[in-house]
Structure 1
C-alpha cells in the first residue's frame, strides 16, 4: 500500500476514499479544461472566420485533388506541374461557371417580385380555404396598430454606405478566393513535405511509424471521399440540368448547378432544390400537372443518388448519422453562413475518419457513424466469428 510521508517523518497510509476523490477531481479538471478549450476554439473560429474559412477551404480543395496528383506522379509528372495545372483548371472552371450563371441568376433576382405575383395567381385556387385565417390575421394586425400610443412614431433608418459595403464585401471575397487557390497550390505542390514535418515531430521510431500510418490512412480516405462525392454531385447536376432542359424548364443550367452545389448538404440541399424547381415550374408551365413533372424528376434523381449511387461508390463505412449531419449543418451555418453549411459534412467526415484511428476517440467516431454502418460491422464481426469457430 502506498504511503504518504508527513513533515515529522511519519508514514500515513492513503485511504481508498482519498485516492478515489483525487481521481474524481482529476477527471473533473480534465473535463473543465476540455470544455474551456472547445469554447475558445468556437470563439476563435467565429471571430477569426476571415482567416480560418479560406484556410480550411484550401485544405479541403487540396485533399480533393490529391488523388489526381498522386495518380499523375506515378505516371512521371511532378507534383509542381500537376498541382499547377489542376489549380489553374479549377480556377477556370469556377470562373466560367460564375460567368455563365451570373446572368440567369441576376435575372431571377431582378424578377423575384413578378415571380411572387405569378406564383400567387397560380396558387389562388388553393388559397381560398385559408382566406378566413388570413382575414383573422389582418384583423389582429389592425387591432395592434390601433392599440399603439398616439405619440409614438415609427422611425425607419435608411441604410447608408451601401456602395462602400458592397465594395468591401467584394474585395474580401476576392481575397479569400485567392488565398484558397494559392494555398491549395502550395499544399499540392509540396508533395510529402507536410507529412515529413509531422513525422519529424515524434521522438522514437515506433511513434514515427504509427504517426505516418495514421496520417496516410486519414489523407487517403478523406481525399478519396471528397473527390468521389464531388464527381457524383457534378454528375447529378448534369443529369438534372439535361432532364429539366428536356422538360422545357427555363435556365436548366442554373438548376443543375444548384443541385450539384446544394447536394453537399444532405437532405436539406435536395429539399431546397426541389422547392426552387417547383416554384419556377409552377410559373413557367400552363398546367400544374405538367409543372409537377420537373420537381418529380429532381426527386427521382436525388433518391437514386442518395440510396444507390453514393452508397455503392463511396461505401457505407463513411456514412454519418442524420442527427449529426443536421447538428453540423446548423452549427457551421451559424458560424460561417452558407459556406460553412457546405463544408459541414466534409468536415464531419474528416473528424470521423480521424477519430476512428485513435482508441481514445473511438466513441466519438461511433456516435457519428450511421446505424446502417454499425449493423454492417456487427454482421461482419458475427460472420467472422462463426467462420473462425
Structure 2
C-alpha cells in the first residue's frame, strides 16, 4: 500500500484504537462504540418534553371538554331530564315509606299507588288554595303599578331626562341613514298558556308514571346494582352509597318540608297581622321559595317590599312587613334549620349559592329547588369514594371537617 493510500484511510478514534498505525500494517475501522449511542439517546431524552406535564395537560383538557359537553347535554335535554330527575327525587323520599309498608304486609304496588295519589292530592290542594290569592293579585296589578309609579315619582324626572338624552344621541347617530324598523310581535298571555299547559301536563304525567314504576319496583335497583358491579367490595360500597343517599336525602327533604310549612304559616300570620294584602299568598310563596336557599327568601322579600310600598301610606309603615319577614327568615335559617337538619348535612354556603344559581339557570325554578338535594347526593358520593376528598372538603361546612362515618365506611371497605 502506498503512503498516499494510507493517509486517505479514515481513522475512527475509540477505546480499541491503540495508535494511528497499528502493528501488522492495518488500520482500526471498528464501528462506533456503545458510549456514543448512549450519549445520543440521553440527549434525545433530555430535549424531549416532560411526560408528566403533558399528561396533566391532557387530563385537564379532557375534564374541561367533558364538563362542557355535560352542561350542554343537561341544558338541551332539560325537557326530558327535569321530570325524570323529579321522579327520582320523589322516589328517594317515598321509598322508605314503601319499604316500611312492605314489612307490614302491604304490596309494593298498592303502597306506591296510594303514596302517588296522596302526593297528587297535596299538590292539587296547594294549587287550589293559591288560585284565589293569585287571581286577586292579578286583578290588583294595574292599580298596584299605578300606585307604585306615583310613589316613585320623585325619581321619574332624572330617569326620564337620562332616557331622553340617550334617545337624542341615538337619533343623532342615525341622522342621514335610512333605518328600517322590524317589530317582532310577542305572543300574548293566552297563546303562551295554550302552548305551555300541554307541555307542563306532559312533564307532570311523565313524572307521575315514572315515580309509580320506581316505587312499585321495590329493591330491584339495588339487586341490579349488585349484579352489575364487578368485585365484592364494589358491590358493598355501591349498596352502602345508595342506601345512605336514600336515607339522607329523604331525611333532609322531609325535615325541610316540615320547616317550610311552618315557615309559610308563620309568614302568612305575620303578614296578616301587619296588614299586608293576600297574606295567604305570601305565606305559600315564602314556604315554597325557601327550598332555594338565599335566592328564594331574597325574591320573596323583594316582592314584599314592593307591595308594602304600594299598600301603606308612609315609608316607615311600609318597612314593617319586610322587617318582620326578615326576622322570621333569619330565625329559621340561623337557628331552626341547623338545629333540626344537624351538622351531618351542613354545606358550604358558597357551594349552596353556586348550586342554586347554576341549576336555576339550567332548569329554571324546578332546578333551583332540586339544587340542594343534588348537592347532598354529590357530597355523600364524594365522602365514600377515594380520590374525591377535595370535592368533599369544598362542599363541607368547615375546612378540614370530614363526616365521622366516612372513616367507618373506609374501615369497612
| TM-score where L is the length of structure 1 | 0.83
Distance 2:300 2:93 in 1: 24
Asked if residue 327 in structure 1 is aligned to residue 358 in structure 2, the reply is: no
> In structure 1, what is the equivalent of residue 390 of structure 2?
363
> In structure 1, what is the equivalent of residue 119 of structure 2?
90
Distance 1:106 1:183 in 2: 32
Q: Report the number of matched residues.
A: 363
> In structure 1, what is the equivalent of residue 168 of structure 2?
143
Q: Is the 8 A contact 2:393 2:402 kept in 1?
A: no
Distance 2:97 2:264 in 1: 22
Matched residue of 1:196: which SS?
Answer: helix
> In structure 2, what is the equivalent of residue 201 of structure 1?
228
Distance 2:139 2:181 in 1: 29
> Looking at CA atoms only, which structure, 1 or 2, has the larger radius of gyration?
2
Structure 1 pair 211/160, CA: closer, same or farther in 2 (3 Å)? closer
> In structure 1, what is the equivalent of residue 29 of structure 2?
none
For structure 1, the residue ranges without an aligned partner over 5 or more in a row are 1-11, 381-389
Distance 2:381 2:348 in 1: 17
Structure 1 pair 216/19, CA: closer, same or farther in 2 (3 Å)? farther
RMSD: 3.0
Alignment partner for residue 257 of structure 1, among 284, 292, 308?
Answer: 284
State the 1:213 CA deviation: 1.6
For structure 2, the residue ranges without an aligned partner over 5 or more in a row are 1-37, 405-413
Asked if residue 62 in structure 1 is aligned to residue 73 in structure 2, the reply is: no
The superposition leaves residues 275-306 of structure 1 with CA deviations (integer Å, 9 ceiling, x where unpaired) of 11222223223444333222222111111110
Matches within 5 A, 1:1-389: 21-124=50-153, 127=154, 130=155, 133-134=158-159, 136-147=161-172, 148-149=174-175, 151-159=178-186, 165-370=192-397, 373-374=398-399
| TM-score where L is the length of structure 2 | 0.79
**More moved, 276-285 vs 132-141:** 132-141
The superposition leaves residues 340-374 of structure 1 with CA deviations (integer Å, 9 ceiling, x where unpaired) of 2222222122211211111211211211222xx34
Structure 1 pair 144/262, CA: closer, same or farther in 2 (3 Å)? same
> In structure 2, what is the equivalent of residue 8 of structure 1?
none
State the 1:173 CA deviation: 0.6
**More moved, 132-141 vs 228-237:** 132-141
Q: Is the 8 A contact 2:393 2:401 kept in 1?
A: no
Q: Is the 8 A contact 2:396 2:402 kept in 1?
A: no
Distance 1:85 1:79 in 2: 10
Structure 1 pair 297/65, CA: closer, same or farther in 2 (3 Å)? farther
Q: Is the 8 A contact 1:61 1:184 kept in 2?
A: yes
**More moved, 307-316 vs 237-246:** 237-246
